[in-house]
Amino acid sequence: MRFGMDGTSVSIGREASKLTVPALIAIALLLSSVADAQTFSSLFSFSGGPTGAYPGTYSFTVGLDGRIVGGTQQGGDPNCSPGAGCGVVYTLSPAGAQIVLHAFAGSAANDGASPNGFVLASNTIYGTTSGGGANTAANGGFGGGTVFKLVTH
């Protein structure tokens, strides 16, 4: 039974109530199973320094083997941008073990700084950096960025 706008009772027929209750139960079960299916776990926490710091937006990808390849905006080589570093390229195993594949040296090595995008092709990582590179002097001392290729073994 439900009530009309004027407070009077309105009857629902027997057939309508048979369709409504199962539909509400199905919706409730569907919504509760969606909420129960969510799981969150932290795989790795960046500490700065050699492991990197501040992983950037869009700065990781997942390989077919389940490993994550990504980059951080800072950390790595302490001689690059003293005290902050110019970022690293790393890989994480599905269990969360990190290996730093490359620490950027910025203008000192013309290799870039602050990696921000990656594509995997077999054992090769292609990516971009938002700073560093060969044109550092022409871009206010930080550089206009690079496109890089990193072959892993």
Q: Which is nearest to 142 in space by CA: 71, 80, 54?
A: 80
**Do 124 and 149 touch, CB atoms closer than 8 A?**
yes
Element (H, E) at 146: strand 146-151
Which of 70-74, 79-83, 128-132 shows the highest mean pLDDT? 70-74
How many C-beta atoms surround the C-beta of residue 70 within 10 A? 24
Bridging pattern class, strands 68-74 and 98-103: unpaired
Residue 48 has a pLDDT of 87
Q: Write down the number of H helices and E strands in the chain.
A: 1, 9
Residue 50 confidence class, pLDDT cut points 50, 70, 90: very high
Q: What is the pLDDT of residues 6-25, one digit of tens each?
A: 555 445 555 544 557 777 67
pLDDT at 87 over 70: yes
Residue 17 has a pLDDT of 46
Residue 59 has a pLDDT of 76
Average pLDDT over the chain, rounded to an integer: 79
Q: Where are the alpha helices (DSSP H) in 12-54?
A: 14-36
**Distance in angstroms (rounded) separating the CA atoms of residues 23 and 62:** 39
pTM listed for this prediction: 0.70
